[in-house]
Amino acid sequence: MPDRAFWFAFRDDKLLVFEDGPVRVPLAEGPEELDLDVTFRREIGNLDGHACWAAETDSEAPEGMVFRDMRSFFFGVDEGFFRMAGRAKQIVGWHVTHRFCGRCGGETEPVSGEVEMRCTRCGMMHYPRLSPAAIVLVQRGDSILLARSPGFPEGLYSVLAGFVEPGESIEETVAREIGEEVGIEVRNATYFGSQPWPFPNSLMIGFTADYAGGELSPDPAEIEDAGWYTVDDMPQLPPQTSIARVMIDAFVRGHGSHREGP
């Protein structure tokens, strides 16, 4: 009998999860058990002792399940689950956007054992898109810079981030993004850590930096509000599954706050 596996099935960029209770995906021997017709499937790793599969489907959700946008539940879910769901989302999205070759228009086919698609006409290899982005915690004395973008959930603030441009180093991205988004200068950019992030296909590369000068002047096209916050007056923060929150929590611990909660 085949082993049961976790199925991370997506339809129109939404993940199939159980409708009630904690967010979870079905455990099944295959998509047929769930009455799902899949147009693509790929094994993507293991979670809690079970293999995990990413799949694309156009079927309706089985009884008791629903397709949900991952942004609606990244608060409070287990980090391991969120990471696997994010990997599945990016793998399925890569397949959807690489069915045809961008160079010659030929159909592509999966390469056995590799995460790549080969053009059947010209042989060009296509790999999942990965967009590096710098995410930066700027510190000024005992305060840090937090801001909110128009697309954030109501009341949420975070550190600043931006994608790396062609020909640009990560350090140059740090300086440029901070300058463009809030009009200040920074120095002493220091690597903190990294995290894959599925919104959309990012590798978030975290830095801390020191305030070096200038007055906050948010770009209204990117930032609704920005300000300096101490450990005792933090606004609503990103989920603990995000590197943004890890960076903020590290700052809070280093400054002796007893702040609790999400």
Number of domains present in the structure of the chain: 2
One domain for residues 146 and 242: yes
Choose one of 97, 119, 150: the last residue of a domain: 97
- Tell me if 153 is assigned to some domain: yes
Long-range own/partner contacts, residues 230-237 (CB < 8 A, 24 or more apart): 230/142, 230/143, 230/255, 231/142, 231/255, 231/256, 231/257, 231/259, 232/257, 232/259, 234/146, 234/259, 235/146, 235/155, 235/156, 235/157, 236/153, 236/155, 236/156, 236/157, 237/156, 237/157, 237/158, 237/262
| Residue 104 domain flag | no
Residue 257 has pLDDT above 70, yes or no: no
Quote the CA–CA distance of 137 and 78 in Å, as a whole number: 24
In a domain, 187, yes or no: yes
- Bond from prior residue into 218 cis (ω within 30 degrees of 0): no
Percent with pLDDT over 90 in the chain: 86
Structure confidence at residue 41 (pLDDT)? 94
Residue 232 has a pLDDT of 93
Q: Which domain holds residue 227?
A: 131-254
Assess whether 80 and 140 both reside in one domain. Answer: no
Give the C-alpha separation, 218 to 241, whole Å.
27
> Where is pLDDT greater, at 178 or 77?
178
* pLDDT at residue 2 in the model: 58
CATH assignment of the domain containing 51:
3.90.79.10
- Together in a domain, 58 and 141: no
Residue 137 and residue 218 in one domain: yes
Residue 28 lies in a domain: yes
Alpha carbons 214 and 60: distance in angstroms, whole number: 54
Instruction: Write the DSSP assignment of 64-106 as a string of letters.
Output: TEEEE-GGGS-SSS-HHHHHHHHHHHHHHHHHHHTSB-TTT--
- The continuous run of DSSP H or E covering 245 comes out as helix 243-254
What's the confidence (pLDDT) of residue 76?
75
Domain end: 74, 97, 120, which one? 97
- At residue 220 the predicted structure's pLDDT band, cuts being 50, 70 and 90, is very high
Please indicate, yes or no, whether residues 83 and 162 belong to a single structural domain of this protein: no
**Same domain, residue pair 236 and 137:** yes
What is the radius of gyration, based on Cα positions, of the chain? 21
Same domain, 138 and 88: no
- Please tell me the predicted confidence (pLDDT) of residue 255: 87
* 142 lies in the same domain as 52: no
Looking at the structure, tell me whether residues 235 and 135 fall in a common domain: yes
Identify the CA nearest to 247 among candidates 138, 101, 89.
138
Residue 159 reports pLDDT greater than 60: yes
Is 61 inside any structural domain? yes
User: Same domain, yes or no, for 56 and 150?
Assistant: no
If asked whether residues 146 and 244 sit together in one domain, one would say yes
Is the domain of 139 the same as that of 87? Answer: no
DSSP label at 156? B
Mean pLDDT score of the chain, rounded to an integer?
A: 94
| pTM tops 0.85, yes or no | yes
Task: Please report the beta strands in the chain, taking only residues with DSSP state E, as ranges in sequence order.
Answer: 5-11, 14-18, 27-28, 38-47, 50-57, 65-68, 108-110, 117-119, 125-126, 131-140, 143-148, 160-163, 185-197, 202-213, 225-229
**Is pLDDT of 108 > 90?**
yes
Q: Is the pLDDT of residue 74 over 90?
A: no
Last residue of a domain, one of 97, 118, 149: 97
Whether 112 maps to a domain, the answer reads: no
> 107 in a domain, yes or no?
no
Check whether 261 has a pLDDT greater than 50. Answer: no
